[in-house]
Amino acid sequence: DVRKGEVFVVMGLSGSGKSTLVRCLTRLIEPTSGTLAIDGEDVLAMDRSRLRELRRHRAAMVFQHFG
């Protein structure tokens, strides 16, 4: 659990799954199993509008290579 006001960092070696984790959190890719909740809300059940809101305000990522 990450509490309000806390900062959460994902660190690891190349190939350890950091990008995959963040892409699952933002649903850029779909997880193959398990559950995913942010603030108790099921991310896998979010519609496109709610996902946009999530990506804008709650869980964003910066792409290293975007060309």
Domain total of the chain: 1
For the chain, state the CA radius of gyration. Answer: 13
Is 31 buried (19+), middle (13-18) or exposed (0-12) by CB count in 10 A? middle
pTM listed for this prediction: 0.70
pLDDT in tens, 15-66: 999 889 888 988 999 999 999 998 889 999 999 999 999 989 888 777 777 6
State which residues form the domain around 20: 1-67
Greater model confidence, 3 or 66: 3
